[in-house]
Structure formats: C-alpha cells, structure tokens
Amino acid sequence: MRELLLKYERKLVEAGLAEEGAPVLGGLDAEIEWNRDDPLCPALAEVFDGLEINSLLYSLPAEPYRSMVAFLASGSEGGSIRPADCETRTFLHDLPVVREFDPREMVPRLRVRKCAVTREGGILTWGTVSPEQAFIFFSSVCFSCFVKFFTDFAYDLKSGNAGGEARELYDHATGLLDVLPDESSMPQLMRGPFDTPGEVVAAIAEVGRETVSHRLVDSFFGNVSYRLGGVLYISQTTSSLDELEGCIDPCPLDGSSCASITASSEYTAHVEAVSAPGVNGILHGHPKFSVIMSMLCDREDCELRGRCHVECVEKRSVGDVPVVPGEVGTGPTGLCRTLPGALRGNRGAIVWGHGLFTKAGIDFNEAFGNLCGIESMSRSLYLERVAALL
C-alpha cells in the first residue's frame, strides 16, 4: 500500500498539482498507512473512521491552483464552489467548502461529495477502491477551479465586476502558465502507417504519455483511438493516459465482439469520427484554455444560457476551430451526434466545457501537433481578449 501511496504522491508533484512534501495520503489495508508522518494524520484518521473509504488525500495544491481555490472558496455562495465544466457536472457536481479543518465538518460533506476544499485553498479527496481515485478527484478539482477562475474573470471584467484581488490573482496565475511545445520543440512520435496491432498499441500508449507530460489532460479525462482494418483500438474508460499499456481495447467495427463494453465512454463518437475519409484515429485531451474559450460567449440575452453544453444553437468557434455542444454518451444530446460532423474539414473540434478532439491520419504526429497548436491559439486569444478589457 505504501508504494502505491508514494506513486500517487509523485504523480501529483510531476503534474504540477502539488509541491514536493505537501500531499498527505492514507490508504486502508489491514490498517491505515500513510505516505509520511504529518501532524494532520490524526484528524484525517477520524475522517477515515467516518466514511466507508479505502484512501484519503489532503494537500495544499501548487500555485496558482492554491490561490484560485482559496479565492473561489472565499466568494462561494451556499458553502460550495459551482464550476460549470463537464467534469464538475458529471463527476463532482459541486465543490463543498469547509470552514475549519475539522473532521466533524468534513465527514458530512464528504459523504455526499467526492471532495471538500478549505478556505485556505486545501483540497481533500477520497477513494473507495484505490488511491488512484483520490488522485483523480484532486486533479479534477484543480482543473475545474482553474477553468472557473479564468472564465469568471473574463465575464466579470467585461461587466465591470472584476475587483483588485481578482486582477492580482490573474497576473499571478498568467505568470505561472505551462510552456507549450512549438514546432521546434514538438516531440517526434512513432511514424505510420501502422501495420500490426502491436504498433497501434505502442503508438496509442506513446501519445497518451506525451499528452499527460505536456499537461494537456487532467487525471484520466482523455482518450485515444486508432483504426486498423476493421478494428478500432481505443483506450479503456477511466484509464490513465500515461499508463495505457494493458488498457487498450480492440473493438471490431462490425459489432462481432463486446470488447467495447470497457472502452472509453466516448467510443461511439470515435467510431463515427473515424468513418470519415483519411481519419484513422482520434486524440482527445482537456487543454485548459481551449475549454475556457469554449465557455465564453458574447450573447448575453440567450434564452438557452445554462444549457450551453447540450442545446447551444449558435455557430461558434475559437479561431478556426468549431465549438459544439454535446454530452458524454449516446443520448439525444450526445457528442457522438455533434462531434463527428464538426471534425470534418477542420483540424480539431472543441466540445463546450469539455475538451478538444483532433484527428489522426497515418499516425499521431499531426493530431498531437494540432492539440498543442489549438491550445496555444486558445491561450493567446484569451489573453488578447482580457488585455483589450483591462
């Protein structure tokens, strides 16, 4: 258990989500084990006693996440932060704010939510199966707060409601943005065309690792696929993109196998997308500014406001990249109905509040380059938008 705890401590630090020595992780085996001794362990052990869980994670996140969480917590209404991105709607619902680091306050909130945040910017998450779940929820909280802060700031600035504290945090946060690769520093991925399942699996695993290492996806929220003959190879649902070996499903496109039952929840959208000429695969990540820009709309009187993720009827784009609504799954508003058409003739498409999808041809080099390029463009367009309002 302790090796597993140390693994996810390292992943938090490598992802830029926490500083070295900050995370406290506990895992329940025969008894509770901790990644390290910490004065908070007794209080966290009381949280364990109050919940039916396997693991628990508490940490002050790295900057700028810590300041963003604290800022949003200080202005939370009803004791919760309420982001509008897809991850929050689907998995977190809202982010409860606790006033004190007190198990008596934290346990009731954690019984009905996957996380709690403190007014100092700390994040507490849990898992029922393994520490991986606690890591995933921690990552999602950081992502959701980042997206919410920058989205809210742009809207508040336009309406004249952005105060001095928000402006200081904006300057602080933009000074800490990750460096994105450009043409001169783009990693060279495996070259296609691929002829064997082994090559396809290796190429999918490689681009998954690069997507994570360049922080273009948070936790496991992303997926990759590639079609070889009549089989679509696709990452499994809830699989971590930097650990895809053994987590890629071969799904016959003729429906002769039930392998797709464990495939990504966006399997149907991938199937529809790779049916287009010249498209052999899909790369899906959650680059932050692509998501942020998808959520910024200048139409203030829209009667569908609040239903943008499923019912937007505006023809919108971020630069040359279309923005479409769409929910995860195959329902009437599923992205399997909106995404494939948006990808045709474009280098990528953004699903509102969700993430960015790019197309692979003979290999993933162009798809990964477009993922980086569209995110870089989205960041530049956001910064220009804000600069024009400051």
- At 12, list the tokens: 């938090």
Beta-bridge partner residues of 27? 33, 55
Q: Clarify whether residues 25 and 170 are in a common domain.
A: yes
Residue 98: alpha-carbon gap to chain centroid? 24
Q: Clarify whether residues 166 and 225 are in a common domain.
A: no
Q: What is the pLDDT of residue 197?
A: 97
Phi, psi of 231 (to 5 degrees): -125, 130
* Res. 303: pLDDT tops 80: no
In the three-class reduction of DSSP (H, G, I as helix; E, B as strand; rest coil), residue 41 is classed as: helix
* 304 Cβ contact list (under 8 Å, min separation 6): 311, 312, 313
Q: Clarify whether residues 292 and 212 are in a common domain.
A: yes
Read off the CATH number of the domain in which 126 is found. Answer: 3.40.225.10
Final residue in a domain of this structure, among 174, 189, 224: 174
Mean pLDDT (whole number) for 371-377: 97
259 C-beta neighbours (distance < 10 Å), count: 17
Q: What is the pLDDT of residue 219?
A: 61
Model confidence pLDDT, tens digit, residues 341-353: 999 989 999 999 9
How far apart CA 334 and CA 321 sit, in angstroms, is 19
- At 226, list the tokens: 């590639």
Band of residue 314 on the pLDDT scale cut at 50, 70, 90? confident
Identify whether 187 is part of a domain: no
Q: What is the pLDDT of residue 92?
A: 82
Band of residue 300 on the pLDDT scale cut at 50, 70, 90? confident
How far apart CA 99 and CA 122 sit, in angstroms, is 11
Phi, psi of 199 (to 5 degrees): -65, -40
Helix or strand holding residue 130 (H, E)? none
How far apart CA 221 and CA 264 sit, in angstroms, is 10
User: In the β-sheet with 223-228, what is the strand arrangement from edge to edge?
Assistant: 248-252, 231-235, 223-228, 281-285, 355-360, 348-351, 321-324, 316-318
Helix or strand holding residue 131 (H, E)? helix 131-159
- At 311, list the tokens: 């019912």
> How large a percentage of the chain has pLDDT more than 90?
75
How far apart CA 13 and CA 105 sit, in angstroms, is 28
* 84 Cβ contact list (under 8 Å, min separation 6): 148, 151, 295, 309, 353
Q: Clarify whether residues 306 and 268 are in a common domain.
A: yes
Q: Clarify whether residues 95 and 22 are in a common domain.
A: yes
Is residue 236 within 8 A of residue 264, CB to CB? The reply is yes
* Res. 62: pLDDT tops 80: yes
In the three-class reduction of DSSP (H, G, I as helix; E, B as strand; rest coil), residue 279 is classed as: coil
Q: Clarify whether residues 9 and 154 are in a common domain.
A: yes
Q: Clarify whether residues 152 and 254 are in a common domain.
A: no
Q: Clarify whether residues 132 and 216 are in a common domain.
A: no
pTM for the model stands at 0.94
Identify whether 381 is part of a domain: yes
Q: Clarify whether residues 111 and 214 are in a common domain.
A: no
Mean pLDDT (whole number) for 320-347: 87
- At 24, list the tokens: 């406290």
- Length of the chain measured in residues: 390
Band of residue 258 on the pLDDT scale cut at 50, 70, 90? low
Final residue in a domain of this structure, among 174, 209, 235: 174
Model confidence pLDDT, tens digit, residues 89-132: 777 889 999 988 999 999 999 999 999 999 999 999 999 999 99
Q: How many domains does the chain have?
A: 2
Mean pLDDT estimate for the chain: 91
Band of residue 225 on the pLDDT scale cut at 50, 70, 90? very high
Phi, psi of 179 (to 5 degrees): -80, 125
Identify whether 312 is part of a domain: yes
- At 170, list the tokens: 């904006």
214: domain range?
197-389
Closest-CA residue to 235 (of 249, 256, 253): 249
Q: Clarify whether residues 158 and 304 are in a common domain.
A: no
Total H helices, total E strands in the chain: 13, 15
